[in-house]
């Protein structure tokens, strides 16, 4: 496992006092798996936002309950890519007069 996003998520969960021995990439974050509550999901989302420069609103953070660690990583990666393309498109666009 060398995916930096996944490594960061596991490190965060450890810091947040979750038993990561019981969690793998196929574990859901919510009650069917790691059992993060809504505040835990919001904290994890903020940690990921700060580390990877992506954004989640309050509702999206709650909806992460149904996602596995791997699915969450995929969403983060997707947003990073979308953010990067938006940034490069903005820098390529001619400046407004």
Bridge partners (DSSP) of residue 28 are 68
Upper half-sphere CA count for residue 91 (Cβ side, 13 Å)? 5
Using rule CB under 8 A, residue 48 touches other proteins: no
- Does residue 60 touch other proteins according to CB under 8 A? no
Closest of 13, 16, 38, 42 to residue 27, by C-alpha:
13
Shortest distance, CB of residue 94 to other proteins, whole angstroms? 29
51 touches other proteins (CB under 8 A)? no
Of residues 40 and 76, the one with the C-beta less far from other proteins? 40
Distance CA 64, CA 92 (A): 34
- List contacts with other proteins (CB under 8 A): 30-32, 35-43, 46, 50, 58-59, 62, 65-66
């Amino acid at each position: 496992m060398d995916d930096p996003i996944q490594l960061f998520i596991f490190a965060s969960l450890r810091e947040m006092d979750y038993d990561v021995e019981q969690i793998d990439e196929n574990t859901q974050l919510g009650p069917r798996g790691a059992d993060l509550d809504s505040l835990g999901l919001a904290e994890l989302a903020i940690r990921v936002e700060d580390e990877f420069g992506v954004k989640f609103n309050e509702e999206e953070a709650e909806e992460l309950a149904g996602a596995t660690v791997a699915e969450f990583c995929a969403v983060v990666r997707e947003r990073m890519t979308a953010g990067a393309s938006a940034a490069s498109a903005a820098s390529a666009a001619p400046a407004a007069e």
